[in-house]
Chains A and B, each alone.
Chain A
Amino acid sequence: MEEERRAGNRKLAGWCQNFILSMADLDDQVRDFSTVKNLDDGSDSSDRSCRKGHKSTLPLVKPLSVEMDKETGFRRSVQMCLEHIREAMLRHRWQEAADYMASYPQILEDRNGATAVLYKEVVWRICTEILHHHPRATMESCNITYERMKHSGVKLYLTICLEHCFHLLLNGQMEEAKQQLSVAESWRYGKESATQHHKVQLIQAYRSLLDYIIWCDKRRTRSKNNPFDSDHQDLHNYFRQASVHLQEILKSPGVWDPFILSYVEMLEFYGDHVEALNVLNNYALNKRFPPNPNAHVFLYQFLKRHNTPEKKLIKVLKNLHVLVPSHELMLEYSYFLLQSEKIGDSQKALGVLLEMLDFACWRSNLDVWRCLQAVVQDLRLRDDWERIVQEQMASRQDWWPVLHFTSFHAAKDSKENPQLWKVKSSLLKILCPGRTLGYSGKKR
């Protein structure tokens, strides 16, 4: 058994070259343990994987993480320290957390390679959290923490870069943030794995966003002075830098609201409306992208800016209606439907407005009720208006009266908004015929 174990270890030493675990550590454990039982488990796993020919980072943590009575003092100390830090952070006792955190970084020197990355992440996140909240923390200490943890290993480099940049942005330091992202963009280590690729994309996208911000600043300052050619060129450079990556990121599915807005703004400035429309359409209508009501809102606003015929606007708003029936643009939608000459649009408008009023946030909105009143008046010109109204109100008879037409509402409306009360009472008989409701007209 001993021989096997040693043979196994020899093979491992040869194969796992990226792995930091020291064999002497294992030796140490051998001498420390008085019973050999648990070791057999560890060596079995290592032997098995040797025979399989594993070249990956073998988690030789098993013998080291086995719960023995003889937990080392170091391990106990850091566990207790972590618990104290966690307790202090949960209760927002930042001074106490900082006190304990001052004794925690020794965990980074732990020689167990498998958990090294985990601990680096833990230390990084806790440090930054405490520094964000501590009253006496300076920007400098935050920067130092980010820099040190960034360079402590390769797995966390990109993530920490991104977070450092966010931190700088929060503090208004755009230039430094941009510099950080440029450095991060040009960083290369080993083979690019899938996770790295994602993060690099994100980094590029944010750098482009920062380029856009700088572009905005420059445009603003430029409009104050006389436009010079060199300035224009400079501006255009930023535009080009930003658009490269923005285009990239807008192609992959996701929620990219700030990016798309900035890109569209830049395109509009340079007059490339076609591209802008393409991008917006893709964002709103591409099935691969997650459903995003904002996408439709952006598209609608863009189309409105460019004087599109009403039909197209109605189409966009129809999509939005499916996603968010209570959106404020639904009012505009119902106006469009009311003004259109198609038969059936008034009916649709009724549906849209009733769905809006299903939500309590529109309960006291005079405009919505007025629009509803207008729609109903429009409908009354037809013969079968009662049937249409009843069709729509059928499913609502149970709960609409309670939602809108109780005596409490009557009192409130007559006090606060008499016009609303007037409109609502006029609609009362139409929407809920044959029911005696408490929405009376007594003014108190």
Chain B
Amino acid sequence: MDEDATAGYREPCAQCAAVNWGISEEGRFYCMSCHNVIERTIEVVDLSVAGSSNRLKSIAKGPRTSKEERGYTWLVCEGFQFILKNQADALLRLGVDPNFKEVLCQMWRLYLQKSQQAYTSDRLRGSRFRPLNIDSDSDCATESSIVSERESNPSSFSEIDSDCSGSADERTPRRRNRLMRMRKTLALVHLALVWSREALTLSDLLRLVRDGHVPYLNAYEQFPEEMKLSGNKSSVFNTKSIPSHRLVHKVAQSLVLVLELPAFPPIGPENLLHPAMLSMRYLADANLPDGLHRWVCSLMERPQKSKRDPSPALPRHDVQAAAHIIVTMKLIFGLDDHTEWELSNKVTPHDPSENLFSFRRWFRLMGTALGRAEQKRDRDMARKQWKPKKPIILRRRLAGRAMKTKRISEQLQMCFEKLSSSPAGVQDVGLSSFRFCWGDEDGSNGPSLHHMKLDGVLSLEDDVLTPLNSSYWHPGLRRCKLMHCQGSAPGHYPEFEPSLPRSFVWVLRLFSFLLDVEPCYLFQEVLEVERRLVGSRLPGQRNKRRLRNRTGKEEEQQEERS
């Protein structure tokens, strides 16, 4: 496009939506992609300008330094710092304690120091981003490792010249983990939240990210004007998906090692982040009666049974709380496709006041609500818009095509938005820590069962409340020793799943929806809790064990103590 001749005429062509104008011999504007000639002519432009002498000053021949091209050189870690700051501000707006931002800042500085990107005497040179007008015509490197080739070519100085030597070092495995990536921002934020004992769990954080309340997806779009992204290093800011709970936790754990953090400040039982409090929250969300809470707490207080208990440096309170709730439900209701229905059958006819908790009623209520919520989640997932408004252009000669495709996609979208009843993308949902709303108000998912009593499933024996269900089942608890099973994502759950009782699988599904994790992940945690409860030295068969006496004894001891 002849910039000078067309004087920056940037209207997209009516036929092909490209901005690629040229001037024909008669002085008319024509589109160079589809040869569409438009009415505009060069004389018109000149006339309008030459008409008044005041305007002559604004036509400057020669190098134009428009505002867009002014910028400064900045480092990758500066970019990440900016993103982290935005994320922290968003969380502060949502009500997190301002102390958290301080903690995050400290952790970031510590990270920069440990990875030798800043605050250190021997600084590793990271990639720099220079503004465009310095090297306007050279194309950026496609592979940072073609350093040797380019260094032998002194004439081609691209934007990432000597920095590549630094980045080549970064490619060694030891350094690879030190590289900053988008998911590390979430891991850092999570660490800071845990450190400041905020009640925002990792699953809550990820949900906020997913709904767009905390910037993550295409966060680089919020960079100020002066920070320009170009070159192949800018792909580090690309966000292709929202990382899963497991992944962020793993990254956070490795960060703990890198940062050589001391032990985390302890969380007392009155703190909202403590699993006991979290379990109360999840019980309320799952519309389970409040009476279950004391059973969950007593389960949590049981001493550690297994000797070798690899406690991770970074605890997962949310998953632990959910796993304890599931195990409690197994203890009380059985969840073996049999006991819970029998118990419900016993409850229903003898309940004129309808105050007793019935598993069947809860299952039906929860089933419809869960189904609807899962459908809504799938719908939102399908309609989520991932592509940024300002795409990162890795090679400048593809920029034109990318922008053209973007315009086409936007116009098609507008076409269909006119027809559709709702706008594209996901609606802004109201913020809430709870996934469901139980009660009698409009818009609730159903009636609340929180006040119901568990008398139907408990009995008073020897002055001690014990569950009527006297047996407990569990799958094989021995840890799988195979190499590829250790730490692999689904573990053995897909193989186990068809043989597990359906009600158990459904409860697993419910809680994994509440926490937004994979059922296999939650299942592994449940297995951990059971290992602690039952011990892992049992034969790997499914067996029923009589625990009533044991739990009875424990309850007695507790009663005596209290």
Give 30 A-B contacts (CB < 8 Å), ordered by A residue.
Answer: A10-B143, A20-B401, A24-B232, A27-B232, A28-B240, A73-B240, A73-B242, A73-B384, A74-B240, A74-B387, A77-B386, A99-B421, A102-B417, A102-B419, A102-B423, A102-B424, A103-B385, A103-B413, A106-B386, A109-B387, A109-B405, A109-B409, A127-B416, A130-B416, A134-B419, A147-B15, A147-B16, A151-B15, A151-B33, A152-B404
Contacts of B398 in A (CB 8 A): 20, 22
By size class, the interface of chain B is: 35 or more
B406 at the interface (CB under 8 A from A): yes
B235 with A144: CB separation less than 8 A? no
Residue ID in chain B nearest A13 by CB atoms: B142
Contacts of B415 in A (CB 8 A): 127, 141, 144-145
A423 at the interface (CB under 8 A from B): no
Contacts of A152 in B (CB 8 A): 404-405, 408
A103 with B425: CB separation less than 8 A? yes
- Complex Cα gap A382–B18 (Å): 84
Contacts of B59 in A (CB 8 A): none
A137 with B382: CB separation less than 8 A? no
- Complex Cα gap A31–B183 (Å): 13
- Complex Cα gap A28–B182 (Å): 13
B383 at the interface (CB under 8 A from A): yes
Contacts of B149 in A (CB 8 A): 10
CB < 8 Å neighbour of A84 from B382, B391, B421: B382
B385 with A106: CB separation less than 8 A? yes
- Complex Cα gap A58–B126 (Å): 33
Most buried by A among B33, B402, B416, B425: B416
The answer to whether residues A6 and B146 also contact, given A22-B395, A77-B382 and a CB cut-off of 8 A, is yes
Q: Mark B432-443, 1 if CB is under 8 A from A, else 0.
A: 000000000000
Task: Identify which of residues 1-47 in chain A touch chain B, using a CB-to-CB cut-off of 8 Å.
Answer: 6, 9-10, 13, 20, 22-25, 27-28, 31
B1 at the interface (CB under 8 A from A): no
- Complex Cα gap A35–B211 (Å): 31
Q: Mark B374-412, 1 if CB is under 8 A from A, else 0.
A: 000011011111110001001100100110111011111
Q: Mark B6-43, 1 if CB is under 8 A from A, else 0.
A: 00000000011110000000000000011000000000
Query: Whole-angstrom distance from the CB of A56 to the nearest CB of chain B?
Result: 20
Most buried by A among B386, B394, B413, B489: B386
Query: Whole-angstrom distance from the CB of A242 to the nearest CB of chain B?
Result: 26
A27 with B235: CB separation less than 8 A? yes
The 8 A-B pairs of least Cβ separation, nearest first, read A73-B241, A151-B16, A72-B240, A105-B409, A80-B382, A102-B416, A74-B386, A103-B383
B416 with A101: CB separation less than 8 A? yes
B133 at the interface (CB under 8 A from A): no
By size class, the interface of chain A is: 35 or more
Task: Identify which of residues 214-239 in chain B touch chain A, using a CB-to-CB cut-off of 8 Å.
Answer: 232, 235, 238
A148 with B17: CB separation less than 8 A? yes
A192 at the interface (CB under 8 A from B): no
Residue ID in chain A nearest B426 by CB atoms: A103
The answer to whether residues A149 and B408 also contact, given A27-B232, A98-B419 and a CB cut-off of 8 A, is yes
A99 with B420: CB separation less than 8 A? yes
A-B pairs under 8 A by CB, number: 141
The answer to whether residues A24 and B421 also contact, given A109-B409, A149-B408 and a CB cut-off of 8 A, is no
B413 with A6: CB separation less than 8 A? no
- Complex Cα gap A91–B415 (Å): 22
Q: Mark A131-151, 1 if CB is under 8 A from B, else 0.
A: 000101100010011011111
A371 at the interface (CB under 8 A from B): no
Query: Whole-angstrom distance from the CB of A19 to the nearest CB of chain B?
Result: 11
Task: Identify which of residues 379-420 in chain A touch chain B, using a CB-to-CB cut-off of 8 Å.
Answer: none
Query: Whole-angstrom distance from the CB of B515 to the nearest CB of chain A?
Result: 18
Most buried by A among B142, B146, B412: B412
A57 at the interface (CB under 8 A from B): no
A249 at the interface (CB under 8 A from B): no
Residue ID in chain B nearest A30 by CB atoms: B171
A151 with B240: CB separation less than 8 A? no
Contacts of A28 in B (CB 8 A): 235, 238, 240
The answer to whether residues A151 and B34 also contact, given A27-B232, A109-B391 and a CB cut-off of 8 A, is yes
Contacts of B408 in A (CB 8 A): 105, 108, 148-149, 151-152
A69 at the interface (CB under 8 A from B): yes
Query: Whole-angstrom distance from the CB of A392 to the nearest CB of chain B?
Result: 64
A72 with B378: CB separation less than 8 A? no
Task: Identify which of residues 238-255 in chain B touch chain A, using a CB-to-CB cut-off of 8 Å.
Answer: 238, 240-242
Contacts of A72 in B (CB 8 A): 240-241
Q: Mark A95-116, 1 if CB is under 8 A from B, else 0.
A: 1001111110110110000000
